[in-house]
Chains A and B, each alone.
Chain A
Amino acid sequence: MHKADSPRSLPTPFRFFLLLLTGLLLTGCSEGPWNNPYRASESGRSIVYSSFSERPKHLDPARAYSSNEYGFIAQIYEPPLQYHFLKRPYQLVPLAATGLPRVTYLDESGRPLPDDAPVEQIAFSDYEIRLRPGMRYQPHPALARDGEGRYRYHRLDRAVIDRLNTLQDLPATGTREVVADDFVYQIKRIAFPPLNSPIAGVMQEYIVGFGDFAERTGAAYQALKRKQGGKPWLDLRDYELSGVKVLDRYRLRIRLKGKYPQFRYWLAMPFFAPMPWEAERFYHQPGMERRNISLDWYPIGSGPFMLGENNPNLRMVLEANPNYHGEAYPEDGDPGDAEAGLLRDAGKRMPFIEKAVYSLEKESIPYWNKFLQGYYDTSGISSDSFDQAVQFSDQGDLALTDAMQAKGISLQTAVTASVYYMGFNMLDPVVGGESERARLLRRAISIAMDFEEYIAIFNNGRGVAAQGPIPPGIFGNEEGREGINPYVYDLVDGRPRRKPLEEARRLLAEAGYPGGRDRTTGKPLILYYDTTSAGPDGKARLNWIRKQFAKLGIQLVIRASDYNRFQEKMRKGTGQIFMWGWNADYPDPENFLFLLYGPNGKVEHGGENAANYSNPEFDRLFVAMKNMEDGPRRLEIIRRMVRILRRDAPWVWGFFPKSFALYHAWYRNVKPNLMANNTLKYRRVDPRLRDDLRRQWNPPIVWPILLGLLLLVVSAIPAVRVYLRREGSSAR
Chain B
Amino acid sequence: MMAYIVRRVLYAIPILIGVNVLTFLLFFVVNSPDDMARMHLGMKRVTPEAIQTWKQERGYDRPLLYNDAAEGVGRLTDTIFFQKSLKLFQFDFGSSDSGRDIGYDISQRMWPSLAIAIPVLLVGLLVNITYALLIAFFRATYIDFWSVVLLVAMMSISGLFYIIGGQYLVSKLLHLVPISGYDTGWAAAKFLVLPVVIGVVGGVGAGTRWYRTLFLEEIDKDYVRTARAKGLSEPRVLFRHVLRNALIPILTGVVVVLPLLFMGSLITESFFGIPGLGSYTIDAINSQDFAIVRAMVFLGSVLYILGLLLTDISYTLVDPRVRLS
> Which single residue of chain A is at the shortest CB-CB distance from B288?
A564
A250-293 interface code vs B (CB 8 A; 1 in, 0 out): 00000000000000000000000000000000000000011110
Q: A110 at interface (Cβ–Cβ under 8 A)?
A: no
Contact, CB under 8 Å: A198 / B175? no
Q: On chain A, which size bracket covers the interface?
A: 35 or more
B interface residues, how many (CB within 8 angstroms): 72
Q: CA–CA, A342 to B180, complex, Å?
A: 33
Q: B310 at interface (Cβ–Cβ under 8 A)?
A: no
User: Which residues of B167-182 have CB atoms within 8 Å of chain A's CB atoms?
Assistant: 167-168, 171-182
Contact, CB under 8 Å: A57 / B180? no
**B158 vs chain A, min Cβ distance (A):** 15
A185-200 interface code vs B (CB 8 A; 1 in, 0 out): 0000000011010111
Q: B143 at interface (Cβ–Cβ under 8 A)?
A: yes
List, in ascending order, chain A residues with CB within 8 A of B122's CB. Answer: 13
Contact, CB under 8 Å: B174 / A20? no
B42-64 interface code vs A (CB 8 A; 1 in, 0 out): 10111111100110010000000
B171-208 interface code vs A (CB 8 A; 1 in, 0 out): 11111111111111011011111000000000000000
Contact, CB under 8 Å: A23 / B189? yes
Q: A4 at interface (Cβ–Cβ under 8 A)?
A: no
A193-B53 contact in complex given A55-B283, A57-B98, C-beta closer than 8 Å = yes
**B232 vs chain A, min Cβ distance (A):** 11
A196-B50 contact in complex given A39-B183, A723-B137, C-beta closer than 8 Å = yes
**A567 vs chain B, min Cβ distance (A):** 7
> Which single residue of chain B is at the shortest CB-CB distance from A359?
B181
Q: CA–CA, A292 to B93, complex, Å?
A: 14
Contact, CB under 8 Å: B45 / A722? no
Which of these, A19, A65, A201, A700, contacts B186 with CB under 8 Å?
Answer: A19
List, in ascending order, chain A residues with CB within 8 A of B176's CB. Answer: 34-35, 700-702, 705
Q: CA–CA, A488 to B184, complex, Å?
A: 58
Q: B38 at interface (Cβ–Cβ under 8 A)?
A: yes
Contact, CB under 8 Å: A294 / B99? yes
Q: CA–CA, A608 to B43, complex, Å?
A: 10
User: Which residues of A295-318 have CB atoms within 8 Å of chain B's CB atoms?
Assistant: 296-297, 311, 313-314
Which of these, A37, A366, A723, contacts B167 with CB under 8 Å?
Answer: A366
List, in ascending order, chain B residues with CB within 8 A of A370's CB. Answer: 178-180
Contact, CB under 8 Å: A290 / B48? no
Q: B119 at interface (Cβ–Cβ under 8 A)?
A: yes
**A694 vs chain B, min Cβ distance (A):** 10
Contact, CB under 8 Å: A363 / B175? no
List, in ascending order, chain A residues with CB within 8 A of B168's CB. Answer: 369
Contact, CB under 8 Å: A704 / B181? no
List, in ascending order, chain B residues with CB within 8 A of A16's CB. Answer: 119
Q: Considering residues B40, B123, B174, B270, which has the most beta carbons from chain A within 10 angstroms of its beta carbon?
A: B174
Contact, CB under 8 Å: A360 / B275? yes
> Which single residue of chain B is at the shortest CB-CB distance from A55?
B283
Contact, CB under 8 Å: A292 / B175? no
Which of these, B173, B234, B273, contacts A727 with CB under 8 Å?
Answer: B234
List, in ascending order, chain B residues with CB within 8 A of A705's CB. Answer: 174, 176
**B278 vs chain A, min Cβ distance (A):** 11
Q: Considering residues B137, B187, B189, which has the most beta carbons from chain A within 10 angstroms of its beta carbon?
A: B189
User: Which residues of A676-705 have CB atoms within 8 Å of chain B's CB atoms?
Assistant: 698-702, 704-705
List, in ascending order, chain A residues with CB within 8 A of B41's CB. Answer: 196, 198
- B interface residues, Cβ below 8 angstroms from A: 30-32, 35, 38-42, 44-50, 53-54, 57, 95, 98-101, 104-105, 108-109, 119, 122-123, 134, 137-138, 141, 143, 164, 167-168, 171-184, 186-187, 189-193, 233-234, 270-273, 275, 279-280, 283, 287-288
A-B contact pairs, 13 of them (CB 8 A): A20-B193, A23-B190, A24-B190, A33-B175, A314-B273, A359-B273, A365-B167, A370-B180, A373-B175, A698-B175, A719-B138, A722-B138, A726-B234
Instruction: Other than A37-B191, A585-B44, give 10 A-B pairs with Cβ distance below 8 A.
Output: A23-B189, A37-B180, A37-B181, A196-B54, A314-B182, A361-B273, A365-B164, A365-B271, A369-B171, A700-B175
